Amino acid sequence: MSGTDYIRHKIMIVSGKGGVGKTTVAVNLALALVENGQNVGLLDADITGPNIPKMLKIEDEILSGDGERLVPVYMPIGCDHGISVMSMAFMIERDAAIPWHSPTRLGVLRQFVDEVQWGLLDYLIIDLPPGTGDEPLSIATMMEVDGAIIVTTPQEVALLDARKAINMAKDAGIPVIGVIENMSGFVCPRCGNQVNLFGEGGGKRVADEMGVPFLGSIPIDPMIVKSGDDGIPFVATPHSSTVRSFEEIVERVYDAVHAQEM
């Protein structure tokens, strides 16, 4: 059973600007959905900068296949569910650079879509490289996606790029599931005061201006940095206001995707 025909929902994680938290959102959204009883796949479409295996601590796994099809790395979560992951990181030495031009990258993506034995999945979460270049548009032509989630920080330069990402999706006929504002205010663990390092409320403002849903915001939290580096998604860490904020976002994503089914 190759290809993505047996996947019910496909969600792209997109941003205009780099480093705003796409991979963090992708990994934690995937785990939150698994914890809600869904079978989930994670496609690391960032061919030259694949980070998902590191963020799930499965970077030493080796791909298997039957000569024709590639089998994703399966990360069990509990007894019945898990995450199936496909990433370029499983195919290269850890620190190797991948100096590939777009046609080669898109060729690999095509293989990840067509030749991988994804099987029956409720969700495929697709983590894209930054920008509005070839990858997001190509993914949208390779398979029918439910829509794109746009991740931005509240910083003006990121918002500028987020607008472009929304316009790219609209022009290409890709539904926008909504905007997530990441790295919103930092709450000082000592005094409790909030410092808005990258500004305030920009994600919601852009969503409102462009007529797309706002899914919520995630604060800057040192726990997110540590959990990413340790390979333990933060939704699996003890409950905190950050985890609660993210769970609310997941509920909105779930509702938006299922509303499209009606």
Ligand X SMILES: Nc1ncnc2c1ncn2[C@@H]1O[C@H](COP(=O)(O)OP(=O)(O)OP(=O)(O)O)[C@@H](O)[C@H]1O
- Contact set with ligand X (CB under 6 A): 15, 18-24, 46, 49, 51, 129-130, 182-183, 218, 220-221, 224-225, 228
Q: From the list Mg ion, ligand X, none, pick the one residue 217 interacts with, judged by a Cβ distance below 5 to 8 Å according to partner type.
A: none
Q: Is the dihedral of CA 58, 60, 62, 63 positive or negative?
A: positive
At 122, is the secondary structure helix, strand, or coil?
strand
| Shortest reach from residue 22's CB to ligand X, in Å | 4
Q: From the list ligand X, Mg ion, none, pick the one residue 20 interacts with, judged by a Cβ distance below 5 to 8 Å according to partner type.
A: ligand X
| Shortest reach from residue 68's CB to ligand X, in Å | 31
The DSSP letter of residue 56 is T
Establish if 23 lies at the interface with Mg ion (CB under 5 A): yes
Establish if 24 lies at the interface with Mg ion (CB under 5 A): no
Q: From the list Mg ion, ligand X, none, pick the one residue 153 interacts with, judged by a Cβ distance below 5 to 8 Å according to partner type.
A: none
| Shortest reach from residue 2's CB to ligand X, in Å | 27
Among candidate residues 4, 2, 3, 49, the one with its CA nearest the CA of residue 145: 4
The DSSP bridge partners found for residue 228 are none
Instruction: Dig out the tokens for 107 from the structure.
Output: 């060729």
Dihedrals phi, psi of 75, to nearest 5 degrees: -110, 105
Q: From the list ligand X, Mg ion, none, pick the one residue 87 interacts with, judged by a Cβ distance below 5 to 8 Å according to partner type.
A: none
As a whole number of angstroms, the distance between CA 117 and CA 98 comes to 24
Task: State the residues that interact with Mg ion by CB under 5 A.
Answer: 22-23
